[in-house]
Structure 1
Amino acid sequence: MATDQPVADEQGVQVESQVRNGALLMALAGVAFVGYGVVFLVLNFVGTGFELGVSTLAGMTSADLDPTVAYYISHLHVATAAFIISTGIAVTGLSWYGVRQRLTWAWATAIVSAVVGLALALPMHWTADAFSHDWVTHLGPIYLATIVFIAGVVLSYRGVRTT
């Protein structure tokens, strides 16, 4: 019976390490979501006036557009950036404070928050090519953050599951 204790201790340490590292990856992805949203916001005011990876719309810059249309696009960009940033803050907080404590509800809520945003936003990019954009700069950062997030979710699963 005494020989079982070191094995159990090693497994406990491994699970704790997986939870900690998984939570860290999930939180880092949340920070990346915030960063993407901030870049999105900054580009609206001091960049092209369009999203990351979009320089023109059918050859037109934001200055070439009707001012009302340009302002409406800007309005949508600010709102979108705000929701990307707020989702990133939620994912970061839930991951760093909740997942590290092995709180299943925090783990699940972080996943749902990220998945709902991504599931609603990304498919639009795979439909008709109504405007040209650089796929790498436009979606690359979000895909990379999503991969990091998924790695964290998978890594932390075992520890969160055993609570």
Structure 2
Amino acid sequence: MGTTEQSVASEREAQVELGSKLRNGSLLMALAGVGFIGYGIVFLVLNFVGSGFELGVSHLGGMTPADLDPTVAYYISHLHVATAAFIISTGIAVTALSWYGVRQRLTWAWATAVVAAVVGLAIALPMHYTADAFAHDWVTHLGPIYLATIVFVVGVVLAYQGLRAS
């Protein structure tokens, strides 16, 4: 095989590898989006048929929703439903952008998926470290979202490497 043929073969291999990174990265991003959707659904279900509080939170200072003033309990429920809705809708956006946009090599879809996830996480997560105002199981409460975030970040990096070469 001549030098030109070796160069063409090497370039093809590089393109296949980059295409694989893009495909795998977008898949991981989309799976993380599905994880966000699942976390939001669990959040929603627990509000109505579970403890009435978030995942990993069974009581507030020893009080269950039944022990709270009904107006306060309803307000907490209202906030949980709204939070679940935004977690689910962000997951849908991340999944769709990753599966349909990133796989099509649309840089704007990659950037939008990243911004949507990062904004939500950057606003929501720090509050968990500011005070110990209520007891919760850290692993149950934040573990699923951290797992989805790790999968998402790995996907973002792989997809970026595949996009950058296109």
What is the TM-score normalised by the length of structure 1?
Answer: 0.99
Deviations 1:103-144 (A, max 9, x none): 100000000000000000000000110000000000000000
* Residues 1:161 and 2:164 are matched in the alignment: yes
Of all paired residues, the percent bearing the same amino acid is 77
1:18 is matched with 21
Give the 4+ runs in structure 1 shifted more than 6 A: none
Q: How does 1:67-146 map to 2 (within 5 A)?
A: 67-146=70-149
The Cα of 1:91 is off from its aligned counterpart by 0.2
- TM-score with structure 2 setting the length: 0.97
Give the Cα–Cα distance (whole angstroms) in 1 for the partners of residues 6 and 165 of structure 2.
22
Match of 2:60 among 44, 57, 62: 57
The 2-side partners of 1:156 and 1:17 are apart by: 9
Superposed CA offset, 1:9-34 (max 9, x none): 00000000000000000000000000
Partner of 2:44 in structure 1?
A: 41
- What is the SS of the residue equivalent to 2:60? coil
**Count of aligned positions:** 163
Gaps of 5+ in 2: none
Residue 3 of structure 1 deviates from its aligned partner by: 1.7
